[in-house]
Amino acid sequence: MSDESKDVTGHKEKLSYYKALNDIANQIHSARDMDEIFLNLNSQILSLFDTERISIYVIDHKRKELYQRLKAGGATPKEIRVPINNESIAGYTANNAQVTNILNAYDSHELSMINRALAFDRSWDEKNSFTTKQVLTVPIFFKNTIIGVLQLINKNNGDRFTLEDQNSAIEMAKVLGIAFYNQIKLAQKTRKKTRFDYLINNSLITEKELGQAIILGRDQKVSVETVFINDFKVKKNDIGKSLGEFYGCDYVPYDSNYPIPGDLLARLKHVYLKNNLWVPLAREGGRVKILIDNPQRLDKVDSIKSLIHAENYEFYVGLREDIIRFLDYFYGTPQVVESDSIHDIMAKLDTDASEADDDATEIMTEDDSAIVQLVNKIITDGYKKNASDIHVEPYPGKSGAEIRFRVDGACTKYQTIPYHYKRAIVSRIKIMSELDISERRKPQDGKIKFKKFAPLDVELRVATIPTVGGEEDVVMRILAAGEPIPLDAMGFSDRNFKLFTHLISQPYGIVLVVGPTGSGKTTTLHAALNYINKPDTKIWTAEDPVEITQKGLRQVQVLPKIGFDFAAAMRSFLRADPDVIMVGEMRDHETVSTGIEASLTGHLVFSTLHTNSAPETITRLLDMGMDPFNFADAILGILAQRLVRTLCKACKEPYHPDKKEFDDLAKAYAGDFDSLGVSYTDDLKLHRAKGCDKCNNTGYKGRTGIIELLNGTDTMRALIQEKARMELLREQAVKDGMTTLMQDGIRKIFLGLTDIQQVRKVCVK
């Protein structure tokens, strides 16, 4: 054959080749069902590339894997999934967006020339009695984003895939990229919308996985959402977003700190709500909030409106399991030991009763047992939730009473009491506190020893305050008995720990711990006493009340009502051979002066004071009339502290701060920032709140102390004798090595314990 004839024949073969490629491309573009058209084109595609097998992989972004979408040639395994990394041929192509053209997949040397980690898994060949030799892989793109891989296996003539094969595969990959995108758009238009479209559109699940989840849910008798969470590791919040997007309303996750809407639940049965999967959440003005599994169920919506009358209704969507958890929480779970759940107690309160007499001062006889149980339940639940305070807040007129718990320094709503019984609740608490229930015009203080009323050994300090409309607010501080915390577990810096342990080990002098109410002063003092509590040391304490007990201490409960106050207790201690005296609080001139005298006569004295900072404590005591020379001789040190909420260890999220945030922290430190040993680098990590089930989606769990410790040095004593201004005292304390509250807080930010928002909430400097 002449050269001219060969050229004509070659030209015809090329035309035929590109015509076949173009014909396949047109059929793919016009296809409505890619799977079906690919099956019909199997033989044409294999013939076009003169190859034994072709596979098309699509990227599963959620799992960072390739899964086999289409296959031509040979038996089809159940499913092939390949990680997107450099350890497989298709995975390498997807990971690097690189074409590979391999002569022998079994040749490890050839594979290592492409990438050291590259290997070929022969198990597929062994299972199917097949031998893979030549492999050509091409990335499938759409708009510069890789969405899959086209893989050709084994050239029929046994040679390497040619450059023409490679170029044709690249052209085919372009066609497939456009076709896959168009199919997704077409499917979105024609496919019936589902409540999981958000998950599919964001590649969190695939259509195939949705079908699998429906089958698994039916077999396991659980919801599809539960299957996604447990088996497919989809985040609950993502499922909630999908439901909210589908139903056109907000998603509400379960929250164990959610206030119990007692007034809405009073006439509703637990079983009915559980069967119908809805629960009222709150009433705000004329609007009622309802959590429901399907806000588009008109029959449920009509039932809700007939049972709960309101001007407006606001519907929220929730997961089935979360709605049930809300119901169990609102009504009392089966695990609760109390004889009556909150639902049973609230049901006993007759919300249809005629309006109670506004001047009534006693609990109505028919409601007596229910009120008693309800108050016990409130206190028990507050204790279980680790609340420090319980607030009972009645509103005037026909408004009810709100019950709030303070947990980790933040108040959260617990329950709403119907207005018929708000005064009965207050009266019951006053009876338990041995207060005058007929006196509602002035504040009263009392205590509840709760073990007299329920099997729970806890004491509460009670304060009642008259409020507008003839009502009374009640605040109960829970004083749970406990063991002292070890001093080395309290978050001291090295300098503060060494100095504080040195100060509390002195034979005489006075050490003060200062801060606002609820800042952990008593806890710190008991930790200090625990550190020095030895058989050769006699320690007396005067407390109001005794919260923490320690073996080896002689602890005294003061009773101001009979004249046995802190000053009287201290005078008694001085006649009882003490080494160490701890006074719960220095409230007046007499207590402070007695404490100073005790420290000057050879005793070590600990006490607390309500001041904002360590230097300010000195000026406050001098203003109270203390002799500056005696006080200067007595003072060993002053520790000021605050409690900040700590980030939840289970969900706190590390992040790299920008330079501005770092500079703002350095500026707020306002001191020797270099002493922290922190510099701005690419590896610097801070942490922020995220939220999970363990912290009730707040992002915070527990509290830690931030501390400033003033040392009573000779220079400081000289300034005290001169009655120096507070600014001079602060400057000298810093020179002596004191880190301020803000500085200690910023140190704990860099340790990943808290964030700047929490630090700023409790201190200024």
Q: What is the pLDDT of residues 12-23, one digit of tens each?
A: 566 666 677 777
User: Which residue is associated with the tokens 């506004």?
Assistant: 358
Region of residue 319 (left: phi > 0; alpha: psi -120 to 50; beta: else): beta
Residues in the chain: 765
Cα separation of 514 and 720, whole Å? 18
- Predicted confidence at residue 134, as pLDDT, reads 93
- Predicted confidence at residue 22, as pLDDT, reads 73
Region of residue 759 (left: phi > 0; alpha: psi -120 to 50; beta: else): alpha
If pLDDT is split at 50, 70 and 90, which confidence band does 74 have?
low
- Predicted confidence at residue 362, as pLDDT, reads 40
Better pLDDT: 409 or 185: 409
Strands 278-284 and 287-292: antiparallel
- Dihedral of CA atoms 91, 95, 99, 104 in degrees, nearest 10, equals -30
Cα separation of 101 and 157, whole Å? 15
Highest mean pLDDT out of 28-32, 38-42, 200-204, 360-364: 200-204
- Predicted confidence at residue 11, as pLDDT, reads 58
528 pLDDT above the threshold of 80 = yes
- Predicted confidence at residue 348, as pLDDT, reads 60
pTM (2 d.p.): 0.55
Q: Which long-range contacts (CB under 8 A, 24 or more apart) does 31-39 make?
A: 31/179, 31/183, 32/183, 32/186, 34/69, 34/70, 34/179, 34/180, 34/183, 35/69, 35/70, 38/70, 38/72
Q: Which two tokens stand for residue 329?
A: 């929480």
Burial of 603 (0-12, 13-18, 19+ CB in 10 A): buried
651 pLDDT above the threshold of 80 = yes
Cα separation of 716 and 544, whole Å? 32
Residue type, 608: T
Determine contact, residues 513/641, Cβ cutoff 8 Å: yes
User: How does pLDDT run across 687-716, given as a tens digit for each residue?
Assistant: 998 888 778 778 888 888 999 999 999 999
If pLDDT is split at 50, 70 and 90, which confidence band does 365 have?
very low
Mean pLDDT across the stretch 677-683? 87
- Predicted confidence at residue 40, as pLDDT, reads 58
- Predicted confidence at residue 548, as pLDDT, reads 79
**Nearest to 759, CA basis, from 679, 659, 647, 637:** 647
34 pLDDT above the threshold of 70 = no
Mean pLDDT across the stretch 648-672? 89
Burial of 139 (0-12, 13-18, 19+ CB in 10 A): buried
**Nearest to 374, CA basis, from 401, 394, 346, 351:** 346
Mean pLDDT across the stretch 478-500? 84
Torsion sign, CA atoms 519, 523, 528, 531: negative
Lowest mean per-residue pLDDT among 4-8, 71-75, 315-319, 514-518 = 4-8
User: How does pLDDT run across 298-347, given as a tens digit for each residue?
Assistant: 888 888 888 888 888 999 999 988 898 888 888 765 433 344 555 556 65
Q: Tell how many helices (H) and how many strands (E) occur in the chain.
A: 29, 24
- Predicted confidence at residue 485, as pLDDT, reads 82
Determine how many CB atoms are found less than 10 A away from the CB of residue 86: 17
User: How does pLDDT run across 193-227, given as a tens digit for each residue?
Assistant: 778 888 887 778 887 788 888 888 877 778 888 88
User: How does pLDDT run across 717-730, given as a tens digit for each residue?
Assistant: 999 999 999 999 99
- Predicted confidence at residue 670, as pLDDT, reads 85
Determine contact, residues 651/700, Cβ cutoff 8 Å: no
Torsion sign, CA atoms 226, 231, 235, 238: negative
Cis peptide bond upstream of 484, omega within 30: no
Residue type, 124: W
DSSP three-state, residue 446? strand
DSSP classification of residue 366: G
Strands (E), 96-189: 100-102, 135-142, 145-155
User: Which residue is associated with the tokens 């034994």?
Assistant: 52
Determine contact, residues 591/578, Cβ cutoff 8 Å: no
| Whole-number average pLDDT of the chain | 83
756 pLDDT above the threshold of 60 = yes
Q: Which two tokens stand for residue 640?
A: 């000021």
